Chains A and B, each alone.
Chain A
Amino acid sequence: GAVVSQHPSWVICKSGTSVKIECRSLDFQATTMFWYRQFPKQSLMLMATSNEGSKATYEQGVEKDKFLINHASLTLSTLTVTSAHPEDSSFYICSARRAENNSPLHFGNGTRLTVT
């Protein structure tokens, strides 16, 4: 069964509104979660690394004030796309891993965001 649950699987919102995406580890504690973005027919680009109890680390070129990440518990990280614009329309995928070295990564099923 799925060990990382992502919700919602798809969402349509209007320009200017904010959207929250949840990533939950179902049967393990995830000290670190990763958020990726994938545009159509392209590869996954890492947006940020989310660490439980501390601020997220954003990749170069990713606006931290636009993509708010909260990792308040060991099983939940959220990505909020604030003041969404049509160019934010994309597929967002999270992954999570346990604290132990060399533990496998588990990916969520992704969230399709469409901003109209």
Chain B
Amino acid sequence: SQQGEEDPQALSIQEGENATMNCSYKTSINNLQWYRQNSGRGLVHLILIRSNEREKHSGRLRVTLDTSKKSSSLLITASRAADTASYFCATALGGTSYGKLTFGQGTILTVHP
């Protein structure tokens, strides 16, 4: 069953601004991942944060994880028009369920030039 909830559902900003997307989940996890999807295309893996990590950076991306609140956030700094896409969080269990992802509902990000 789908356990991730994301907000906002849609976000519209100007180029150069920061974009923050939030994700909440319900069960214990091994890791949480963020993906990007351009319209009608497959998924691009952005970043993975493990359950024992609190913050991770990759280029203009910053991800936080609060396991006590079962929530994560993705911050894209200095956004560009090319960042326009849908962004999904996905939670993963460990062990034999590794690789089996449960996706959030996604945030549609539009960056206006």
Tell me the bound Cα distance from A102 to B34 in angstroms.
16
Question: In the complex the two chains form, is B100's CB within 8 Å of A34's CB?
Answer: yes
Say how far A36's CB is from chain B's closest CB, in angstroms: 8
Which B residues lie within 8 Å of A93 (CB)? 42-43
Q: Hey, which chain A residues are within 8 Å of B106, CB to CB?
A: 42-43
Binds B, one of A64-72, A75-83, A108-116: A108-116
A residues 77-104 with Cβ under 8 Å of B?
Answer: 91, 93, 95, 97, 101-102, 104
Are A105 and B101 interface neighbours, CB within 8 A? yes
Please state if A34 and B103 are interface contacts (CB–CB under 8 Å): no
B41-A43 in contact (CB<8A): no
Residues of A within 8 A of B48 (CB): 104
Determine the residue in chain B with the shortest Cβ distance to A42: B105
Assess the B105–A43 pair: CB atoms within 8 A: yes
Chain B's interface size range is 20 to 34
Q: Tell me whether B2 is interfacial, beta carbon within 8 Å.
A: yes
The size of the chain A interface, using a CB distance under 8 A, is 25
A110–B2 touching, CB < 8 Å: no
* Closest CB pairs A-B (n = 9): A109-B42, A107-B43, A44-B103, A43-B103, A97-B99, A107-B42, A110-B42, A43-B105, A43-B106
A contact residues vs B (CB 8 Å cutoff): 6, 32, 34, 36, 42-46, 49, 60, 91, 93, 95, 97, 101-102, 104-110, 112
Interchain Cβ contacts under 8 Å between A and B, 19 examples: A6-B42, A34-B101, A36-B103, A43-B88, A43-B104, A43-B106, A44-B43, A44-B101, A45-B103, A49-B99, A49-B100, A91-B40, A95-B101, A101-B98, A102-B98, A105-B101, A106-B45, A107-B35, A110-B41
